Amino acid sequence: MSHSINHSMSQSMGKSKNQSASHSLTVLKFGGTSVQDALAMQDLVRIVATRKGERLVLVSAMAKVTDQLVELGKSCASGDEKAVQAVVNQLWERHQSVARDLALTPGQQEPLRRLFDQLRALSNSLAILGEVSARSLDDLLSFGELASSRLVCGAFEQAGIPAVWADSRQLIRTDSRFGSAQVHWEETGEQARRVLQPLVARSIVVAQGFIAADGDGVTTTLGRGGSDYSAAILGAVLSAGQIEIWTDVNGILSTDPRRVPEAKTLRRIHYAEAAEMAYFGAKVLHPATIFPALQKRIPVWVLNAKNPADPGTEIVYDTSSVDLCGVAFKTGVTVINIHSTRMLGAHGFLKSVFDVFALHELSVDLIATSEVNISLTLDRQVPANLVDRAIVDLRKISEVDVASGCATVSVIGRKIRETPGLAARLFGEIKDINVRMISMGASELNISFVIEEEHLNSVLRRLHRSLIETGQSG
Ligand code: ADP
Ligand code: ASP
Ligand code: MG
């Protein structure tokens, strides 16, 4: 997040006139697996019912639905009408069967039916055009959250708990950067308070994560995995008492349990460490989530909807948390090595390199430089065609080689700076593996390095065993 955004956010949060604090409000966000079927939705209803005070529930699309909608977009773009119909029918069947399992009345199912009529009309016309803009894709993707939230609202009603449905496009205002829209904080604060405060005072409110709208009311999205961010945005502008991120694991763990089964829950973790874990790839939390909560010092909990008795992770501002908290990673990373003897003793070369990245709107993750080399990494989210175009431009000023299929591994925690010999121990554990690049010191909280993706599981297991499991984490 850039400083200017941080600045405008804190300003608008700080100066708002009619901002009444609603410390009794709990924002609860449920991810895709936590709404994957009728049983999961009924669990959600039980969890929300255990909470007291005002409650705003934000839901993701049902598990895998956003991926299917992305595929639907591709079929529309290639004009494959058969494939388009097949996907829409499949999605309709799945949502219908959940509606049946929840025993929703025809009246309760009506909004869902209308939604799918719109989805059918939209995807048919896009398939005829054979073109899907970023704007149309956001429109398509929004159907996942719009549909799941209708079902969840029905699940509350069926359980005899009054709930009202709200449209997040009338709550969160963004710019028109489709696919990863930036929040307009002031308007969001005003709209969200105006629309939501009377509603949450009366009953539970169910709205969508991930989706928002620009100044013209056109649907935008906050980027993949962005529902966590929605919870933080609305929690912050409404001055919520707490934000709960309900997912499918027992909180933030020391690493991804899918790759290292010994990963353990971090019970209390500092905002800065949670943010660092998220920035460097821990998928459990969208990287933008922490900052709005930090601005307002709102406690954030990460909890397991499949195991609500587990206390999960509490993210707090003041804590003597563990010193070495975890190992995060990113896959699908591209490393670009730029070599030029023109760099030697010259000024302005770095600028010309970064001008190329700025021109193609590419955001660089890690950087290491020497007298005549610059190595940097790009995230998997970066579109390949943009990378190709940037490389053409870089080759005009330097020699360039590119390696795809890499992974960054980041060891995160406050102990990193203070522990003599930590880097030696870390790299000693993986001395048989080729490390392409190392970045340390830019942040006090991490050491990051790049390896080939095929070694990732082995590296994660070894580092976890030697740095985390042995109690070196303090
Ligand atoms: P949701 O749909 O609830 O948003 P996500 O799939 O986005 O869930 O995130 C949860 C997943 O993140 C977990 O199932 C886990 O595999 C993965 N993950 C990666 N790193 C971590 C970590 N450090 N702690 C917990 N989960 C992690
Ligand atoms: N449904 C969206 C996605 O899959 C947002 C989210 O789940 O957080 O990216
Ligand atoms: Mg997620």
| Domain end among 258, 291, 316 | 316
The best mutation among 227, 283, 331 to test binding of ligand 1, ranked by most ligand atoms within 8 Å of the C-beta, falls on 283
134 with 248, same domain?
yes
Pairing between strand 204-208 and 211-213?
A: unpaired
Token digits for 18? Answer: 């009619």
| Domain end among 316, 343, 372 | 316
pLDDT along the chain (474 residues), means of 10: 44 45 85 98 98 97 98 97 97 98 97 98 96 96 98 98 98 96 98 97 97 98 97 98 97 97 93 92 94 93 98 84 80 93 75 92 89 89 85 92 95 82 90 92 84 97 91 46
At residue 287, the 3 state secondary structure works out as: coil
pLDDT attached to residue 380: 85
pLDDT attached to residue 14: 43
pLDDT attached to residue 374: 92
pLDDT attached to residue 10: 53
pLDDT attached to residue 16: 42
| Domain end among 282, 316, 350 | 316
310 with 338, same domain?
no
Q: What is the DSSP string of 303-371?
A: EETT-TTS--EEEESS----SS-EEEEEEEEEEEEEE-GGGTT-SSHHHHHHHHHHHTTPPEEEEEE-S
**Ligand 1, atom 9, residue with closest C-alpha:** 284
pTM, two decimal places = 0.92
The best mutation among 145, 245, 284 to test binding of ligand 1, ranked by most ligand atoms within 8 Å of the C-beta, falls on 284
104 with 144, same domain?
yes
pLDDT attached to residue 382: 79
* Whether 302 contacts 251, CB under 8 Å: yes
Pairing between strand 313-316 and 268-270?
A: parallel
pLDDT attached to residue 469: 85
Rounded to the nearest angstrom, the gap between the alpha carbon of residue 125 and the centroid of all alpha carbons in its chain is 30
Question: 115 lies in a domain?
Answer: yes
The best mutation among 60, 67, 70 to test binding of ligand 2, ranked by most ligand atoms within 8 Å of the C-beta, falls on 60
78 with 109, same domain?
yes
Question: 321 lies in a domain?
Answer: no
Q: What is the DSSP letter of 177?
A: -
Pairing between strand 204-208 and 446-452?
A: unpaired
409 with 263, same domain?
no
285 with 365, same domain?
no
**What distance in angstroms lies between residue 467's CA and the mean position of ligand 2's atoms?**
32
336 with 232, same domain?
no
For 70, other C-beta atoms within 10 Å of its C-beta total 14
276 with 154, same domain?
yes
pLDDT attached to residue 323: 66
297 with 438, same domain?
no
258 with 399, same domain?
no
Ligand number nearest to the C-alpha of 247: 1
**What distance in angstroms lies between residue 285's CA and the mean position of ligand 1's atoms?**
7
110 with 192, same domain?
yes
Q: What is the CATH number of the domain that holds 348?
A: 3.30.2130.10
**What distance in angstroms lies between residue 49's CA and the mean position of ligand 3's atoms?**
23
Count of domains forming the chain: 2
194 with 235, same domain?
yes
The whole domain housing 33 covers: 2-316
